[in-house]
Amino acid sequence: MFNVLKNRTYRHLFAAQVVALVGTGLMTVALALLAYDLAGENAGAVLGTALAIKMAAYVVIGLLAGGVANLVPRRAFLVSLDLVRASVAVALPFVDEVWQIYVLIALLQSASAAFTPTFQATIPDILPGERDYTNALSLSRIAYDLENLLSPMLAAALVALIGYHWLFGGTVFGFLASAALVLSVVLPAKAPATVAETGLRRMTRGSRIYLATPRLRGLLALNLAVAAGGAMIIVNTVVLVRTTFGLGETDVALALAVFGGGSMLAALALPRLLDALDDRSVMTGSAVAVAVLLCGLGAVLAAGDASRLWIAMLLVWGAAGVFYSAMQVPTGRLLRRSAHDGDRPAIFSAQFALSHACWLVTYPLAGWLGASAGMPVALVVLGTIAGLGAAGAILLWPKDDREVVPHRHPELPPHHPHLQGADPDAHHAHPYVIDDLHRRWPAAAR
């Protein structure tokens, strides 16, 4: 897996991702403490609103960013967005009103919503080989999990030494270091857009391709399963551990560490597993497993003595981490094979926005159900939603999902660029992607 780090360009971009993630993790802790200083017992409401703003920015800006990313040099665009994020982080320690937090978070997360899919769409151009790209996706998953595990511990140590306001300095450093690392490499030139479009059609091109592609419609259903399982664990772990099981803060950290550890184990194993199994089987099977785990734990909690089920919860959380990662790691492979090179930024932006739209629904649902109906109900409802996502993916994603499809175009002249010299009445083949020419794919593939 780590052989891909021999590629200097990818190595620098991976390092940029890691330092930016550490900075973001420090900001998350600092923001919680700042909210408590400003709002006291209403800090939870402040953070909830900030999280809603973040998700709204991801959905709206994410859908539009792909069209903008193809208009400017990729490296300059990424560096500029890092500088915007660093500038916002500089301002955060000086806020003295809650509304100022909301404005700054909206700016910072809008920049992140443009940065992340553009960054992700760059990696397939740097690592064109399927195996190398899969390894890169697994490394990215491990980086996210390590950030979730290590950033809170680093933040706790720094708060004890220097106070939480200085954590924002770590965030600024992370974004500036990310900008410097991106600036230190030459990125591959952008492929030209496959179709010349202007205005809103260009900005929504990614979502139109996404929703027209069968395997990506299945991926959208899987995004719902990912969000349902993830929201249940992220939002309600602390309530389950402290209230249902009557345990302490250390046990909350342990439960989250078990979930993150399961995710990392899966990320390490997936490159070899995906050599033997197809993406559809791995992803849909994992979604079904998450649904069964959550519903099963909910049923057991409702029927038994919760105080004796702590170990069972840890086992479920660890297994859920494995399947959570298995649903996510292959996503980039699906996106890469579903778009022409010139459309990659747009389709990665669409995935970023549509997946976060699922989180925008499941985050508040998990919190509301846990508070009003109890943890067993929350587990069963979120598990059922994950099951519906799995069922939707199985129905929408064709089992015979060929990457290269033979087809013909008798309506095209022989000199058309798509045919590349082939006889229009003869079958020719290329990767199965949806574009304006293949909007009605079954007819074109006859």
In b/e form, how buried is each residue of 47-69, taking b as 16+ CB within 10 angstroms? Answer: bbebbebbbbbbbebbbbbbbbb
State what percent of residues in the chain have pLDDT above 90: 21
pLDDT band at 441 (very low <50, low <70, confident <90, very high): very low
Is residue 446's pLDDT more than 50? no
pLDDT at 407: 47
What is the average per-residue pLDDT within 190-201? Answer: 52
pLDDT at 69: 58
Interatomic CA distance for residues 347 and 305, integer angstroms: 47
pTM recorded for the entire structure: 0.74
Is residue 304's pLDDT more than 70? yes
pLDDT at 275: 85
pLDDT at 87: 92
pLDDT at 387: 97
**Burial class of residue 183, CB neighbours in 10 A (0-12, 13-18, 19+):** middle
State what percent of residues in the chain have pLDDT above 70: 76
Q: Which amino acid is at 421?
A: G
pLDDT band at 438 (very low <50, low <70, confident <90, very high): very low
Question: Which among 379, 395, 390, 397 is positioned nearest to 288, based on CA atoms?
Answer: 390
pLDDT band at 220 (very low <50, low <70, confident <90, very high): very high
**If you average pLDDT over every residue of the chain, what do you get?**
79
Is residue 75's pLDDT more than 60? yes
Q: Comparing 351 with 202, which gets the higher pLDDT?
A: 351
Is residue 437's pLDDT more than 50? no
Give tens-digit pLDDT for 43-71: 656 766 777 788 888 878 877 765 565 66
Q: Can you give the length of the chain in residues?
A: 446
Is residue 92's pLDDT more than 80? yes
pLDDT at 201: 60
Interatomic CA distance for residues 432 and 445, integer angstroms: 10
Give tens-digit pLDDT for 9-24: 889 988 888 888 888 7
DSSP 378: H
pLDDT at 202: 55
**Termini Cα distance of the chain:** 40
Asked if residue 89 lies in contact with residue 23, where contact means CB atoms within 8 angstroms, the answer is yes
pLDDT band at 432 (very low <50, low <70, confident <90, very high): very low
Interatomic CA distance for residues 86 and 80, integer angstroms: 10
What is the average per-residue pLDDT within 298-309? Answer: 80
Give tens-digit pLDDT for 343-357: 777 787 788 788 888
pLDDT at 417: 47
Q: Comparing 259 with 421, which gets the higher pLDDT?
A: 259
Is residue 366's pLDDT more than 50? yes
pLDDT at 177: 93
Quick check: helix, strand or coil at residue 213?
coil
User: Which has the minimum average pLDDT: 2-6, 60-64, 68-72, 101-105?
Assistant: 68-72
Give tens-digit pLDDT for 156-181: 667 667 777 788 888 899 899 999 99
Which domains are assigned to the chain? Answer: 8-189 (1.20.1250.20), 205-397 (1.20.1250.20)
Is residue 415's pLDDT more than 70? no
Other C-beta atoms within 10 Å of 283: how many? 26
What is the average per-residue pLDDT within 386-391? Answer: 97
pLDDT at 20: 86
Q: Comparing 1 with 388, which gets the higher pLDDT?
A: 388
Interatomic CA distance for residues 381 and 365, integer angstroms: 9
Question: Which among 102, 100, 108, 117 is positioned nearest to 81, based on CA atoms?
Answer: 108
Give tens-digit pLDDT for 120-137: 778 888 888 878 877 887
Give tens-digit pLDDT for 256-265: 888 888 888 8
pLDDT at 322: 94
